Amino acid sequence: MSPAAAAARVASFAANFTTSTAPSSGGRLLRPFRGNPRPRRAVASMAVSAPKSPAAASFLERRESERALHFVKYQGLGNDFIMVDNRDSAVPKVTPEEAAKLCDRNFGIGADGVIFVMPGVNGADYTMRIFNSDGSEPEMCGNGVRCFARFIAEVENLQGTHSFKIHTGAGLIIPEIQDDGKVKVDMGEPILYGPDVPTKLSSTKNEAVVKAELAIDGLAWHVTCVSMGNPHCITFGSEELKVLHVDDLKLSDIGPKFEHHEMFPARTNTEFVEVLSRSHLKMRVWERGAGATLACGTGACAVVVAAVLEGRAERKCVVDLPGGPLEIEWREDNNHVYMTGPAEAVFYGSVVH
């Protein structure tokens, strides 16, 4: 294969993701995606060169085969996802097992999950499905849905403010891209009835599980349980630890014990929260199926709901996560929770799977 032919293949591949025809500097195969709110450094690059052997030519041909998966890597406050354009089929282009391999940070692309943009159903514009880094499938993902909205705007070449109706396992979710590039998402109403979260813990307040005791490693943790379409267990401390300093926690030790506790039949996401003020909270999260992550959108929403139920905060808060802040509001007029935060493209690529 000649150098010109190799370069033509790369140009064809790039056309799958952007209408831009300008060549990237240095012949890079992987480059920042078009439309970022601010310039970002390319995460990875590969110089284009002619194959030097039949084996190399065979590899390039295989990359362009039906087994080549094109993707765009997105992140929302460091919670990162492999975005796949799956609009031509209601069947995900990779299996849960393949998704787990792709998410591996040493032997794959590296991500907290793989998100598929699929055809809409029941009046929705699109359907969102996600496989976690362990291959499990959650109902939805707050940071993921912001990335989903930005990805749709790119592949549909949409400019300005736009909103979408997205069908998820947690119901209909409506994100809106704002003028400043952030995405505001109507996350719907929180679910507080214990069996629907689900949790086996007994209700303590109007059928809700608020400040219930959960025994782990000899400590009596005070927990409030909330579902944002997926289950969350929120704690502000224990009988022994009245005030949490979340930076001191070793999540890899304590997180799995919450996630797999017998009181949570569907397992659970767990948020550990430090109250900085009545409008400013700080949290760390252990996500079901993904472990410790830099951010969790549904978790931040659940934290504000729990803080209000426990009388610790107002209905509108800034929630600090390791990856950055989210703005969360639990409105009293319609009982909906709204989340506002960034989502950014990092790079695009393809992988043989």
* CATH code of the domain covering residue 104: 3.10.310.10
Q: Which whole number is the average pLDDT over 184-190?
A: 96
The model's pLDDT over 314-338, given as tens digits with 9 standing for 90+, comes to 999 999 999 999 999 999 999 999 9
Are both 93 and 235 inside the same structural domain?
no
Instruction: Say yes or no to pLDDT of 2 above 50.
Output: no
Beta bridge partners, 305, equal none
* Tokens of residue 174, six digits: 């409506």
- Our answer to whether residue 141 is catalytic in this structure is yes
Are both 206 and 65 inside the same structural domain?
no
Are both 281 and 146 inside the same structural domain?
no
Kindly name the residue from 141, 225, 301, 317 that is annotated as catalytic: 141
- Taking a C-beta distance cutoff of 8 angstroms, is the pair 273, 238 a contact? no
The model's pLDDT over 114-156, given as tens digits with 9 standing for 90+, comes to 999 999 999 999 999 999 999 999 999 999 999 999 999 999 9
Are both 321 and 209 inside the same structural domain?
yes
Contacts of 69 (CB under 8 A, 6+ apart): 84, 93, 94, 350, 351, 352, 353
Q: How far is CA 89 from the centre of its chain?
A: 22
Are both 163 and 237 inside the same structural domain?
no
Instruction: Say yes or no to pLDDT of 340 above 50.
Output: yes
Nearest-5° angle of CA 100, CA 324, CA 138? Answer: 30
- Taking a C-beta distance cutoff of 8 angstroms, is the pair 351, 68 a contact? yes
Which helix (H) or strand (E) is 196 found in, with range? none
- Using CA atoms, how far residue 226 sits from 159, 235, 255, 285, in Å, is 35, 11, 17, 14
20: pLDDT confidence band, cut at 50, 70 and 90? very low
- Our answer to whether residue 296 is catalytic in this structure is yes
For 128-187, the DSSP string reads EEEEETTS---S--HHHHHHHHHHHHHHTT--S-EE--EEETTEEEEEEE-TTS-EEEE-
Instruction: Say yes or no to pLDDT of 33 above 60.
Output: no
Local structure of 107: helix, strand or coil: coil
Are both 175 and 200 inside the same structural domain?
no
Are both 140 and 198 inside the same structural domain?
no
Are both 26 and 141 inside the same structural domain?
yes
What whole-number distance in Å separates Cα of residue 217 and Cα of residue 254? 9
Are both 26 and 104 inside the same structural domain?
yes
Are both 204 and 70 inside the same structural domain?
no
Q: Which whole number is the average pLDDT over 213-235?
A: 96
- Using CA atoms, how far residue 281 sits from 77, 232, 316, 349, in Å, is 16, 16, 11, 37
CA dihedral (316, 337, 204, 260) positive or negative:
negative
* Tokens of residue 190, six digits: 């929180």
Of 219, 220, 193, 196, give the one whose Cα is nearest residue 207: 193
13: pLDDT confidence band, cut at 50, 70 and 90? very low
Are both 315 and 273 inside the same structural domain?
yes
Contacts of 218 (CB under 8 A, 6+ apart): none
271: pLDDT confidence band, cut at 50, 70 and 90? very high
Domain enclosing residue 124, as ranges:
3-188+344-352
pTM across the whole model: 0.79
Are both 330 and 199 inside the same structural domain?
yes
Predicted local distance difference test score (pLDDT) of residue 62: 54
The residue with greater pLDDT, 4 or 98, is: 98
Kindly name the residue from 147, 296, 301, 317 that is annotated as catalytic: 296
Give the count of domains, the chain.
Answer: 2
